[in-house]
Amino acid sequence: MRILLFTGKGGVGKTTAAAATALRCADEGHRTLVVSTDPAHSLADAYGLALGDQPAALTGSLWGQQLDARARMEDSWSEIRDWLLEVFAWAGVQGIEAEELAVVPGLDEVFALADLADHAESGRWDVIVVDCAPTAETLRLLSLPDVAAWYMARLFPVSRRLNRMVAPVLGRVTALPVAGDEVFGATNRVYERLQTVRGLLGDPDAASIRLVVNPERMVIAEARRTATYLALFGYGVDAVIANRLLPEAITDPWFDRWKAAHAEHLAAIHEGFAPVPVFTVELAPEEPVGLEGLRRFAAELYGDGRAADVHHRGHPMRVETVDGVHSLVLSLPFGERGELDLGRRDDELMVRVGPYRRAVVLPDSLRVRTVVGARLRDGELVVDFT
Ligand SMILES: Nc1ncnc2c1ncn2[C@@H]1O[C@H](COP(=O)(O)OP(=O)(O)O)[C@@H](O)[C@H]1O
Ligand SMILES: [Mg+2]
């Protein structure tokens, strides 16, 4: 089973690339599901076919679904939401306001991920293609399981124990609503599905991220940052798709400077992302929509290659030993010193890159050792231990 996620800046061609890839996988004989987690939901427009909240057949082996994460949230989260509403009511916040407060930002994305876990475990699909929201939301989505794990490990056992002891007392004295077994159960179910999906997405044989870019300075700059953050969380990028290159066939001198700029940016993409392969697609004479348009897009994108293959396998994390110094090596392409922060907490290394933070659980061999230094080396973060 393979999961392919497509992300990149808004408008670069994520939906087109995801739709074309899914169709290609289905044409190659894989039972394929294409899912959109982007609330913009343009997947149906790309195919020119209707898509709903449940998987629907598009061709013989291709199925499509536009996830309505919000509706899904209502199903599983109702116990917890009710409890939150009670807490808010207790705090003096009532009515519609409380309803709004209960919709914690990012919560709907949790359910998009949980749905993905269900699809992956169903055994129904050989390939699941995900048309993701633009980069920032996708990164938040992909960092969620780690964030949730952190909270669960630290807060839940404590509050659970506290609840057991103080609930009878508290219940009478202050009437503060205490999370009951249903809430704990519901939280735990969601949490477990998040960990399942984290395991899947962090396994380079199961999941690959494909970064879609255009040959433009700002798009590339964002893609580089995205690559750094994805590496921080240990997600593997197996290909970069450079979309909308000006075709060779254009000879009008008016486009000369555009063509020169594209060539320059394309070279920078190749150099910067190597050894990750860069696949190219030219600007088409019309929007690549409908099954035939998407098949042409896929043919240009993958040539004779197979769409679902793992096109590149990186090494997100490893331990090196040189002259008695043990080092933890984390892949961090385009990482920059100024935006990097490191800290040690028990058996975890806290790594912050820009706005993202990850608690990296240290391997056994390093747990008892002390950090003596850290440096960036060729797109890798090297942390030395004595
Ligand atoms: N290679 C291409 N040539 C011409 N038009 C393209 C190409 N790739 C994408 N498009 C068009 O560009 C627009 C944006 O693409 P889309 O896949 O929706 O981007 P995103 O999902 O990243 O926002 C769509 O109208 C799409 O048909
Ligand atoms: Mg899109």
The pLDDT profile of the chain, 386 residues, written as one tens digit per residue, is: 999 999 999 999 999 999 999 999 999 999 999 999 877 779 999 999 999 989 999 999 999 999 887 777 676 667 667 776 776 676 666 666 656 655 555 566 667 777 888 899 999 999 999 998 777 777 777 777 777 676 666 555 545 555 555 555 554 445 556 666 776 677 777 777 778 888 888 888 999 999 999 999 999 988 988 888 888 888 889 999 999 999 989 999 999 999 999 999 999 999 989 899 999 999 999 999 999 999 999 999 999 999 999 999 987 788 999 888 899 999 999 989 898 999 988 888 999 988 888 888 888 889 889 999 999 998 899 999 98
- Alpha-carbon distance 342 to 352, whole Å? 6
Q: What is the CATH number of the domain that holds 380?
A: 2.60.40.790
Number of domains the chain is built from: 2
The reply to whether 252 and 301 lie within a common domain is yes
CA of 307 to the centre of ligand 2 (A): 19
The reply to whether 324 and 246 lie within a common domain is no
CB 371 within 8 A of CB 385: yes
Read off the pLDDT of residues 20-46 as tens digits, 9 standing for 90 and up.
999 999 999 999 999 998 777 799 999
Read off the pLDDT of residues 207-220 as tens digits, 9 standing for 90 and up.
999 999 999 999 99
Q: Beta 32-36 vs 62-66: how paired, if at all?
A: parallel
Q: Residue 297: is it exposed, middle or buried by C-beta count within 10 angstroms (0-12/13-18/19+)?
A: buried
- According to DSSP, residue 236 is labeled P
- According to DSSP, residue 377 is labeled E
Q: What range defines the domain where residue 377 resides?
A: 317-385
Mind spelling out the 3-state secondary structure of 179-192?
A: CCHHHHHHHHHHHH
Residue closest to 264 by CA, chosen among 216, 224, 333: 216
The reply to whether 307 and 322 lie within a common domain is no
Give residues with Cβ within 8 angstroms of 343, minimum separation 6.
349, 350, 352
Closest ligand 1 atom, residue 288 Cα: 27
- Alpha-carbon distance 96 to 29, whole Å? 49
What is residue 242's three-state secondary structure? strand
CA 210 to chain CA mean position, Å: 10
The reply to whether 158 and 233 lie within a common domain is yes
The ligand that comes nearest to the alpha carbon of residue 284 is 1
Domain termination site, one of 290, 314, 338: 314
Residue closest to 222 by CA, chosen among 212, 237, 208, 207: 212
The reply to whether 240 and 123 lie within a common domain is yes
CA of 336 to the centre of ligand 1 (A): 31
The reply to whether 375 and 282 lie within a common domain is no
The reply to whether 231 and 357 lie within a common domain is no
Q: Whose CA is nearest to atom 4 of ligand 1?
A: 284
Residue with tokens 């506290």: 162
Q: Whose CA is nearest to atom 27 of ligand 1?
A: 287
- Alpha-carbon distance 235 to 231, whole Å? 6
- According to DSSP, residue 54 is labeled S
The reply to whether 283 and 330 lie within a common domain is no
- Predicted local confidence at residue 190, as pLDDT: 72
CA of 10 to the centre of ligand 1 (A): 10
Q: Whose CA is nearest to atom 25 of ligand 1?
A: 287
The reply to whether 356 and 226 lie within a common domain is no
Structure tokens at 12: 């670069």
The reply to whether 248 and 282 lie within a common domain is yes
CA of 311 to the centre of ligand 2 (A): 23
- Alpha-carbon distance 268 to 263, whole Å? 9
Q: Whose CA is nearest to atom 23 of ligand 1?
A: 11
The reply to whether 52 and 174 lie within a common domain is yes
Give residues with Cβ within 8 angstroms of 244, minimum separation 6.
12, 13, 214, 215, 281, 282, 283
Side-chain half-sphere CA neighbours of 363 within 13 A: 12
Q: What is the pTM of this model?
A: 0.84
Q: Whose CA is nearest to atom 16 of ligand 1?
A: 13
The reply to whether 149 and 119 lie within a common domain is yes
CB 141 within 8 A of CB 133: yes
Q: What is the CATH number of the domain that holds 1?
A: 3.40.50.300
- Predicted local confidence at residue 172, as pLDDT: 46
Domain termination site, one of 314, 335, 360: 314
Structure tokens at 213: 């870019």
Task: Find the residues whose C-beta lies inside 6 A of ligand 1.
Answer: 8, 10-16, 42, 243-244, 281, 283-284, 287-289
- Alpha-carbon distance 358 to 228, whole Å? 12
Helix (H) or strand (E) holding 4: strand 2-7
Domain termination site, one of 314, 339, 356: 314
Side-chain half-sphere CA neighbours of 136 within 13 A: 5
Q: Beta 32-36 vs 325-331: how paired, if at all?
A: unpaired
12 phi, psi to nearest 5 deg? -75, -20
